[in-house]
Structure 1
Amino acid sequence: MRLGLRLPGALCLRTLPARQRPGSKVLCPLANRFNHTKRTAVLSMSDLFSKAERPNKRRRIVNSAVPDSAMAQGTGGQTPRVHLSSEEALLRRLLLDTVEHICLRQKNKVNGPDLVLRFTGGWVRDKLLGVDSQDIDVGISTMTGYDFGLALKEYLDIPEKLEKYKAHYPVHALKGIIGGLHKIAANPKKSKHLETTTIRVFGFDVDLVNLRKETYTDDSRNPQVEFGTAEEDALRRDATVNALFYNLHTDEVEDFTGRGLSDMESKLIRTPLAPYQTFKDDPLRVLRLIRFASRLGYTIDPDTETSMYNDDIKHSLKLKISQERIGIEIEKMLRGPDPLGSLEIINRLGLYDTIFSDHQSEATVDTSPWPVVYTLLNSILNDELNSGISHELRKSVKGFLVRDKDEKYRSWMIAALSPWAMVDVKNPLTEDEVKKMAPHPARVARDSLRCEKKLTTLLSVAITHYGLISDVKTAFVNGELNTCLADTRWKLAKLIRTLGADWRLCFIQAMLLDVMQGKAAELVLKDYLKMLQFLEEQNLLDVYNLRPLVNGRDMIAALNAKPGAWLTSALEITVEWQIRNPDRSDAEGAIDEAIRRREEFKQ
């Protein structure tokens, strides 16, 4: 069944005109050549998509709020109307003009299939949810994206055509009318099975690609790809809500799966075709559906979930999909609006060992205490939640330790890998082993997710020094460091300097490991907050990058020595002196301290 949703205009379900169906012949199917008198069934936009239940956005957003015009209520009982933005309307007009240009250029050739353009996938879904996006995929029925892109540039190279846009549209919309045309080749190893052409038009990042059909075989994860119909292109997609198309010629949203609109109404994630075969063909779709479910706040269809935790599918996910692609999906989940939801689904479906596997170890990982970890982190990062832990306590801890989006993402990655961290806590590496291999979380991040070195280094530092962090925190809270302020300042400062710039995230890891071992979450937060407040009072939060008052040249001269490895230790003694004596800033005092303690380092 083919459904249409007019956009802009009254919201309706529509059976498309016969001349627009697959196999029909239209030389140049421009919007004004279609008959719009077919029977319609009216739906209420407020029934379909509630403004209050819009998801947070992953895509680049033009306007984070739903514009009033997007769901404007008509008068006299008319249904709500949905409008393209002025920039989207401008882009649509340009693309349709390009179709007409191509048709005129080929008017002497034998009539072929329709040249029909559609906005596809995520843009349509987000538009129905009231979200504007600068990223638009254009599905082309009978041309490659590159050929259409060349025709688009050719059209705008005609002076009078370009002037038409300058005359009829606001100047601000014409900034950089069109950017470079780039062809991205097919790369089956990364499951990019068809070439795509990208171009920047009117401020939009536009991907041009022909509609396609994918055929999989049992002995290969790489499909055979060929030109396809709009229905075939829709059915090959990962979820029904991602398979909606907006037909530029008819101003309608097309639902070739017959379930995309109803699944949006029901807030349901499911595959267009049988889920088992869908995941068998491309197991990465398992992770994509988890990501979309958490991002949109939707529920995964029970039959789809059953296939997601099937052992064959888990095996295929581990065997067929590259670590880079898995890592990209996990990062998108953890940077998205609901990392907690993603981790809960992964845990519920028993996918932890499949996704977060350590290829260098036969150690088994216990995920039974994992929910405590991600629940606590979520309560810290979303301090407005009613979690049973003091709101002010959680807000204060977050203010100290998680200052930006990147630290938030890395905190979630720490939580995701904490079950592996417990393996190291229970069986700590020896000093020799630490030199030869990284802790389990760092190895998993590096080998199974292909995370950046910055993150793997953080994980190594956090796990390796967990015992030190715990010991210093316990001693401080118990008053064992409070005999002398100078000593307390130095011992805490030394800890921060040992951990380095990411000490805050090391504290996050330590707190999560504490609760994994059964310690009460509120008590753990109180203990760390006490230490954090002391660091703030003593102006030691940034002590990790404190520079010595004395430079190396002056130290060498003062000790009348040759340069060597000793210099690092000598300068650190001067830093200790600075920390113990915050009211002094004279280099002479620091040098005197180094001279007094010169037996502690070899020259």
Structure 2
Amino acid sequence: MVEQSAYLPSSVQVKDHIDITPKEEQIFNRLLQVVEHYNLGTQLRVAGGWVRDKLLGKECYDIDIALDNMYGREFCGKVNEYLSAFGEETQGVGVIQCNPDQSKHLETARMRLFDVWIDFVNLRAEDYIENSRIPTMKFGTAKQDAERRDLTINSLFYNINTRSVEDLTERGIADLKSGKIVTPLSPKQTFLDDPLRVLRAIRFGARFGFILDEELKKAAADEDVRVAIADKISRERIGQEIDLMISGDQPVKAMTYIADLKSFWAVFSLPSDFEPSIPDGCDRLCVACLDSVWKLLNLIGRSSFSDDQRRLCLYAALFLPFRETVYRDNKAKKIPVVNYIFRNSLKLKAIDAETVISLHAVTKKFVTLIPLLVSKEDIQVLEVDWKRDTIEVPIASKLRILTGFLLREIKEFWRVALLLSMQLYPVDIVSTSFSNDNFELDKRNGIFKEVENAVRTLGLEKVWELKPLVNGKEIIDILEMKNGGPVVREWQQKLLEWQLAHPSGTAKECRDWMEQKQSKRPRTE
């Protein structure tokens, strides 16, 4: 289990009031004008994360308005009616329907005001019929609404009418100050009502460095709750929460919590049949790989990678133990299990799955090239099992060919693949008093930079943008063929090898080399 003492927040600074920006003042005044003009008698409350973040002194642009006497779509209609009456442009209103089967119990209306998207929902109370997890929704009081929310720190309201913070669970501010993740009501019932709340509790705990309440942890690890996570929530919603964790500042802490609370396989579900089998504790191994890569990523510098590169690097690290694991589809074709996790368990983009699978493949190849790229001695033999045959060139040129082909395979993600390969690359650590985790991390960082510099010295940083000196039509002409085919593709490969081996070579020299090679080949009809 996670040692929570290591996660205890230092003291959490919580403001005693909320500072409203000029833009927020515009929005709130406009909403109050609508209420007053139509004599609606509506209490307008900003709910949840905006209040929490404002009290923590953070900016937040996610404004959710809770209404005490009408539905969101009705109020948005009144806003547009007001805008039209005063000669202003009306706004489109989007409605996100509720979906009780997937624990989405509220209809949400959304519209744009002063260039800010605002969500509108009604305050609600929920009644659960025995043996059913689908509630009957009805209008509720602000207190009932606060108590039905996921966490006490997300149950705070800012009343726009009275310009005051409302802590209706009577512990939201206290939990915010003490850095605790607590549910307003019984945690097990809260999680069974909407199992996604388990992942939200984990995400907020990791994000803010808050500790999870002991009763909450016990409920989250309960078998009934774990079954509900796997069966009740849409995979899209699970994928969205995991993506927020991986993209956040504490991905290791979040994944550690998921493993600690025995939810790893409920979240990252696997196909029913796969090979080879995974060992006990594989969830811990996944988190350990993520932890190792995360530390190295921070040492190298996160800012030197794009957001998408960092995100997919961490997914590739988390799933590194599955890099050789496959299952069979309905056509008996072998498919990487990573593909199943992305596309079935998390419902993330197919391109994400393809990139991570490519990263795993290139990472394995990179490991064989690293000792050659960092060698200070002349290389006598250069053989790799993933590309045995190349054109006849000196070994130094062959190294440039192999490295160039590898980088072209993964393109701008080559530094990500190199970083991941550090996890698989054996590092010799001299047995001294300094041989600790930090020493090993520094060693891997040093090797990463050596390989990075070697790639730059070889002039291969953008090798995937290399244009062929001889195009397909010219190849067909030299071969005296009528059209293309496998032979042309074979020559395109060889000509690319020649270009990589001769970075200063000209198109004429490239054609001359091809014609010379072609003249020595036996002609076939």
Shorter-chain TM-score range? 0.7 to 0.9
Give 2:491's aligned residue.
570
1:532 aligns with 2:467: no
1:369 aligns with 2:281: no
Selected match of 2:215 from 286, 289, 303? 303
**How far apart are the structure 2 equivalents of 1:250 and 1:229?**
16
Give 2:6's aligned residue.
none
Cα displacement (A) at 1:410: 0.9
Does the aligned pair in 2 maintain the 1:91–1:202 contact within 8 Å?
yes
Give 1:239's aligned residue.
151
- Return closer, same or farther for 1:474/1:407 CA change in 2, 3 Å cut-off: same
Cα displacement (A) at 1:178: 5.8
Name the SS for the 2:283 alignment partner: coil
Cα displacement (A) at 1:181: 1.9
**1:547-580 superposed Cα distances (whole Å, 9 cap, x missing partner):** 2111111221122112223222212211111111
Cα displacement (A) at 1:488: 1.6
Does the aligned pair in 2 maintain the 1:373–1:515 contact within 8 Å?
no
- Return closer, same or farther for 1:90/1:528 CA change in 2, 3 Å cut-off: closer
Selected match of 2:166 from 254, 259, 281? 254
Cα displacement (A) at 1:225: 1.4
1:198 aligns with 2:95: no
Cα displacement (A) at 1:521: 4.6
Alignment of 1:188-587 (within 5 A): 188-217=100-129, 219-361=131-273, 363-365=277-279, 366-383=282-299, 394-395=300-301, 403-421=305-323, 424=324, 436-477=333-374, 479=379, 484-514=395-425, 521-562=441-482, 563-584=484-505, 586-587=506-507
Does the aligned pair in 1 maintain the 2:101–2:232 contact within 8 Å?
no
Cα displacement (A) at 1:215: 2.6
Cα displacement (A) at 1:335: 1.1
- Return closer, same or farther for 1:505/1:239 CA change in 2, 3 Å cut-off: same
1:50 aligns with 2:20: no
Name the SS for the 1:547 alignment partner: coil
Selected match of 1:181 from 93, 97, 101? 93
**How far apart are the structure 1 equivalents of 2:315 and 2:380?**
33
Does the aligned pair in 2 maintain the 1:477–1:527 contact within 8 Å?
yes
**1:202-258 superposed Cα distances (whole Å, 9 cap, x missing partner):** 122111111111233454443221211111111111100000011111111111111
Runs of 4+ in 1 over 6 A off after TM superposition: 427-430, 432-435, 515-519, 600-603
**How far apart are the structure 1 equivalents of 2:169 and 2:341?**
38
- Return closer, same or farther for 1:573/1:206 CA change in 2, 3 Å cut-off: same
- Return closer, same or farther for 1:311/1:364 CA change in 2, 3 Å cut-off: farther
CA RMSD of aligned residues (A): 3.2
- Return closer, same or farther for 1:408/1:466 CA change in 2, 3 Å cut-off: closer
**How far apart are the structure 2 equivalents of 1:428 and 1:602?**
42
Selected match of 2:29 from 73, 93, 98? 93
**How far apart are the structure 1 equivalents of 2:185 and 2:229?**
19
- Return closer, same or farther for 1:277/1:306 CA change in 2, 3 Å cut-off: same
**How far apart are the structure 2 equivalents of 1:211 and 1:286?**
22
Does the aligned pair in 2 maintain the 1:487–1:580 contact within 8 Å?
yes
Name the SS for the 2:64 alignment partner: strand
- Return closer, same or farther for 1:480/1:148 CA change in 2, 3 Å cut-off: farther
- Return closer, same or farther for 1:380/1:154 CA change in 2, 3 Å cut-off: same
Name the SS for the 2:455 alignment partner: helix
Q: Which runs of 5+ in 2 are unaligned?
A: 1-9, 383-393, 430-436
- Return closer, same or farther for 1:600/1:507 CA change in 2, 3 Å cut-off: farther
Give 1:62's aligned residue.
none
Give 2:391's aligned residue.
none
Cα displacement (A) at 1:462: 2.9
What amino acid does structure 2 have at the position aligned with 1:359?
A: P
- Return closer, same or farther for 1:503/1:48 CA change in 2, 3 Å cut-off: closer
Cα displacement (A) at 1:527: 3.5
1:130 aligns with 2:48: no
Cα displacement (A) at 1:132: 2.5
Does the aligned pair in 1 maintain the 2:287–2:318 contact within 8 Å?
no
- Return closer, same or farther for 1:433/1:149 CA change in 2, 3 Å cut-off: closer
- Return closer, same or farther for 1:294/1:429 CA change in 2, 3 Å cut-off: closer
Give 1:142's aligned residue.
69
What amino acid does structure 1 have at the position aligned with 2:409?
A: T
**How far apart are the structure 1 equivalents of 2:226 and 2:401?**
50
**1:94-149 superposed Cα distances (whole Å, 9 cap, x missing partner):** 1112111221xx7xxxxxxx521111111111111122222211111111111111
What amino acid does structure 1 have at the position aligned with 2:135?
A: P
**How far apart are the structure 2 equivalents of 1:332 and 1:600?**
60
**How far apart are the structure 2 equivalents of 1:511 and 1:531?**
11
Give 1:36's aligned residue.
none
**How far apart are the structure 1 equivalents of 2:11 and 2:133?**
37
Does the aligned pair in 2 maintain the 1:121–1:243 contact within 8 Å?
yes
Cα displacement (A) at 1:305: 1.1
Does the aligned pair in 1 maintain the 2:152–2:184 contact within 8 Å?
yes
Does the aligned pair in 1 maintain the 2:320–2:360 contact within 8 Å?
no
- Return closer, same or farther for 1:314/1:118 CA change in 2, 3 Å cut-off: same
Name the SS for the 2:66 alignment partner: strand
What amino acid does structure 1 have at the position aligned with 2:223?
A: D
**How far apart are the structure 2 equivalents of 1:600 and 1:368?**
58
Does the aligned pair in 2 maintain the 1:570–1:601 contact within 8 Å?
no
**1:315-374 superposed Cα distances (whole Å, 9 cap, x missing partner):** 211121222111111001111222122122123223222211212435335234344422
Cα displacement (A) at 1:515: 7.2
Selected match of 1:83 from 15, 19, 37? 19
1:590 aligns with 2:510: yes
**How far apart are the structure 2 equivalents of 1:284 and 1:577?**
55
**1:456-512 superposed Cα distances (whole Å, 9 cap, x missing partner):** 112222334444332232444454568732122112112222344433333333333
What amino acid does structure 2 have at the position aligned with 1:574?
A: L
Name the SS for the 1:96 alignment partner: helix
**How far apart are the structure 2 equivalents of 1:512 and 1:209?**
47
Q: Which runs of 5+ in 1 are unaligned?
A: 1-46, 52-70, 72-79, 107-113, 163-176, 384-393
TM-score (norm 2): 0.84
